[in-house]
Amino acid sequence: MPDDFIQTTKRHLKGLLPQRWRSDLTLVPVVRLSGAIGMSSPLRQSLTLAAVSRTLERAFAVKRAPAVALVINSPGGSPVQSHLIFKRIRALAEEKNKRVFAFVEDVAASGGYMLACAADEIHADPSSVVGSIGVVSAGFGFPDLLARIGVERRVHTAGTRKTMLDPFRPEQPEDVERLLTIQREVHATFADLVRSRRGAALTAPEEELFTGEFWVGTQALPLGLIDGIGDLRSTLRARYGDKVRMPLIAPPGSWFSRRAPGGVSAALGGLDLSGGQLGAGLAQGLADVAEDRALWARYGL
């Protein structure tokens, strides 16, 4: 039997094998980290460690993969959840000895940039929004509203600071100073993390980088906040060759949950539809959605 026929047959048979069994292919699992970071609600699915941990573990468990790619599109959110996800990515990368790439889509700002810093290399589109290394707290004040509509508010506390920053009381200077003290601590932790991960790559003074300002990809590159301009496919093909495969690691149960077989209640994430709980739940959900919308709007998205 001619050798060329045998080789051709082998190639065809190899092409029928699942990708995980083919030794001639390089696999780089892809994990999407998209959305605001923090507590989820029936109308808002957010990034939390609990939500992404199993997906990350599955991606890093692919033995033949030399690396894992993170596709990030997040305006930030909870500093605690951002840090927990960051630490889990780094722990898995070191445990499995895999390189981590981050690819920024629309935005990796604030906590989203913290997630990107978990990667060994950060790549972005020329117009991606990157940075916002700072801390922000926002709210509203209604100190005169209740009196105008004839409502008496009654608050009973044990502890002199339990009503700190109460939106129905006039803002107190000592409350604001206490909040700023906490923000400075959180900001310092964020800045230390960026220093430890980006190191000598940072070229601009810290008083410029750590102000909460953000930049587009072409501006972030010379500042050392990212390592390159490029997308997932072209960057990984240039690194690992044209045969590289980039399977998306979907969250567990995502196919099932999208179809919401349990009806309206399941589609709303188990929201209690009885009595006043429905109105309260929907009101909270809509408030959460509005908060998410405000996060994205900060970056013109």
Average pLDDT over residues 10-30: 65
Contact by Cβ (8 Å): 205, 99: no
Confidence tier at 264 by pLDDT (50, 70, 90): very low
> Are 109 and 37 members of one domain?
yes
Provide the pLDDT for residue 40: 64
b or e along 124-149 (b: 16 or more beta carbons within 10 Å of the residue's beta carbon)? bbeebbbbbbbbeeeeeeeeeeeeee
Q: How far apart are CA 218 and CA 247, in angstroms?
A: 28
- pLDDT tens-digit profile of 208-236? 999 999 999 999 999 999 999 999 999 99
For the chain, how are helix, strand and coil distributed in percent, rounded to 5? 45, 15, 40
b or e along 57-69 (b: 16 or more beta carbons within 10 Å of the residue's beta carbon)? eebbebeebebbb
Average pLDDT over residues 284-295: 60
> Are 282 and 179 members of one domain?
no
Provide the pLDDT for residue 171: 74
> Are 102 and 223 members of one domain?
yes
Identify whether 206 is part of a domain: no
Given a cut of 60, is residue 49 above it in pLDDT?
A: yes
Given a cut of 60, is residue 278 above it in pLDDT?
A: no
> Are 190 and 249 members of one domain?
no
164 versus 245: the higher-pLDDT residue is: 245
> Are 117 and 196 members of one domain?
no
Confidence tier at 7 by pLDDT (50, 70, 90): low
> Are 123 and 138 members of one domain?
no
Express as a percent the part of the chain with pLDDT over 90.
53
Identify whether 11 is part of a domain: no
Provide the pLDDT for residue 234: 97
Provide the pLDDT for residue 256: 41
> Are 250 and 172 members of one domain?
no
Strands of 202-271 (E only): list them.
Answer: 214-216, 228-229
Provide the pLDDT for residue 170: 74
> Are 153 and 121 members of one domain?
no
Number of domains in the chain: 2
Strands 67-74 and 228-229: unpaired
- Residue whose pair of structure tokens reads 């044990």 in the numeric block: 158
Domain region containing 144: 134-200
SS3 155: coil
Cα-Cα-Cα-Cα dihedral sign, residues 137, 142, 146, 147: positive
- First-residue to last-residue Cα distance in the chain: 63
DSSP string for 159-213: STTTTTT-TTS---HHHHHHHHHHHHHHHHHHHHHHHHHHGGG--S-HHHHTSS-
Confidence tier at 13 by pLDDT (50, 70, 90): very low
- The C-alpha torsion from 81 through 77 and 246 to 229, rounded to 10°, is -130
- pLDDT tens-digit profile of 85-117? 999 999 999 999 999 999 999 999 999 999 999
> Are 124 and 22 members of one domain?
yes
285 versus 230: the higher-pLDDT residue is: 230
User: Any idea what the CATH number is for the domain that residue 260 is in?
Assistant: 3.90.226.10
Given a cut of 50, is residue 205 above it in pLDDT?
A: yes
- pLDDT tens-digit profile of 112-170? 999 999 999 999 999 999 999 987 777 677 777 767 787 777 777 777 777 777 777 77
Of the residues 173, 200, 227, the one at which a domain ends? 200
Catalytic positions, written as ranges: 110, 162
Confidence tier at 176 by pLDDT (50, 70, 90): confident
Query: Which amino acid type is present at position 224?
Result: G
pTM above 0.75, yes or no: yes
Other CB atoms within a 10 A radius of the CB of residue 18 amount to 6
Provide the pLDDT for residue 261: 43
Average pLDDT over residues 39-60: 85
Identify whether 59 is part of a domain: yes
- pLDDT tens-digit profile of 267-276? 444 444 445 5
